[in-house]
Amino acid sequence: MLKLKNSILIGVLSVSIPLITLNAQNDSSELDEKMEILKEVLGIEFDGQLDEYAYEILVQELDSLGIEENELAGGYEFIGGDFGFQEYLDNNIDHILYLLGDEKNEFNDDEGEYAYEEDERISDTGSGYSINIYGGFPIYKATTFETYDKANPVIGLSLGTPIGFNIGPFYANIGIELLNYTFNETGMDTSYGMDGTGIGTEEIIISSITSSSFGGNAYLAGLNTGFKLRGYDLNATITTGVFHAGTGFIAGGNFNIPMGNSPLKLRLSMRANIVQKEEGGATGWIGTGVSIGYHW
């Protein structure tokens, strides 16, 4: 079981690191390029800002084309001001350029200009389901937990649901998770054998063994809430449920790595775990890890 958990953790890290590197190089420059195209379409100078003035121009342009965007209909403050409008643009830039470029015929492949087609954008904030594999490792244990001197990888499988809400850049949704964790207390095993002289002299052979363990499976449900800005996603997770010796809960902070329109999602996590002990009372640990998810 331990070898399997180590293999899963190594696999998650092996896939995550190259993906993080590639996206860090490509996503930001591509998004900036599209924002400059939008400025050009709206008649905003190169060094101008996509702020409330840009919002008003965009709404007017869409109105003149007979297009109504529900997310923009409530006004600048309703969408979340500068923060919310920037998030809307980050998540919908291809869609906006498609609407403006297609209706006004300003972007044409035959002329060597930019052309955009409307795409099906994937969101992890209430628009669909997701399945995620988490691999992590404890980095700090409570003083009541110090007798367990060997920590093992923590492996989780979670399902995100579309049950939740969005308010501007802020969102919340509900998910469930299956978690496996194990801590071991090592002891010393003493046995006897020949000392190699062949005359029967005994010598003590001491080796390390696992004398007791703490762990098992946890079945959890909870809330994931946060906000998005320029493709980046900061969020917090609070879950509770049944652990191997009773109830407990997990509170954590997460940072989602931008992946564009890819259905794959990467998340870096820091988690605080508080669980009951079989002999009574509670203990806990703090761990860090990474997860890979598929969203549909």
pLDDT tens for residues 25-38? Answer: 455 677 788 888 88
Q: Average of pLDDT values for 53-57? A: 89
Q: Do residues 133 and 216 both lie within one domain?
A: yes
Q: Are 131 and 257 part of one and the same domain?
A: yes
Q: Please give the model's pTM, rounded to 2 decimal places.
A: 0.60
Task: Provide the b/e sequence for 160-169 (b: ≥16 CB within 10 Å).
Answer: beeebeeebb
Domain count, the chain: 2
Report DSSP letters for 16-34, one per residue: HHHHHHHHHHHHHHHHHHH
When the pLDDT of each residue in the chain is averaged and rounded to a whole number, the result is: 77
Same domain, 132 and 25: no
Q: Compute the Cα dihedral for 171, 270, 26, 294 and give only its sign.
A: negative
- Same domain as 155, residue 107: no
Query: Angle, to 10 degrees, between the axis of helix 81-104 and the axis of helix 52-64?
Result: 30
Quote the pLDDT of residue 124.
Answer: 38
- CA neighbor of 38 nearest in space, from 80, 94, 83: 94
Q: Which two three-digit tokens encode residue 256?
A: 């989602």
Q: pLDDT for 102-156, tens place per residue?
A: 444 444 444 444 444 444 333 334 357 899 999 999 999 888 777 788 888 999 9
Alpha-carbon gap, residue 82 to 261, rounded angstroms: 23
Q: What is the mean pLDDT of residues 19-46?
A: 72
Rounded Cα distance, 133 and 16, in Å: 11
In this structure, the answer to whether residues 22 and 56 fall within a common structural domain is yes
Final residue belonging to a domain, choices 57, 85, 111: 111
How far apart (Å, rounded) are the C-alpha atoms in residues 238 and 168? 21
pLDDT tens digits along 183-230: 988 766 555 555 555 555 555 556 666 568 899 999 999 999 988 766
- pLDDT at residue 190, as a whole number: 57
Nearest-angstrom CA–CA distance, 208 and 190: 9
* Whether residues 186 and 104 fall in one domain: no
Whether residue 159 sits in one domain with residue 97: no
Is there a single domain that holds both residue 31 and residue 178?
no
Q: Which H or E run contains 86?
A: helix 81-104
CATH number at residue 215: 2.40.160
Confirm whether 246 is domain-assigned. yes
Cα separations (Å) of 78 from 42, 90, 172, 182, 232? 22, 17, 18, 47, 21
**246 is in which domain, residue-wise?**
124-295
Give DSSP secondary structure letters for 69-82: -GGGTT-TTTTTHH
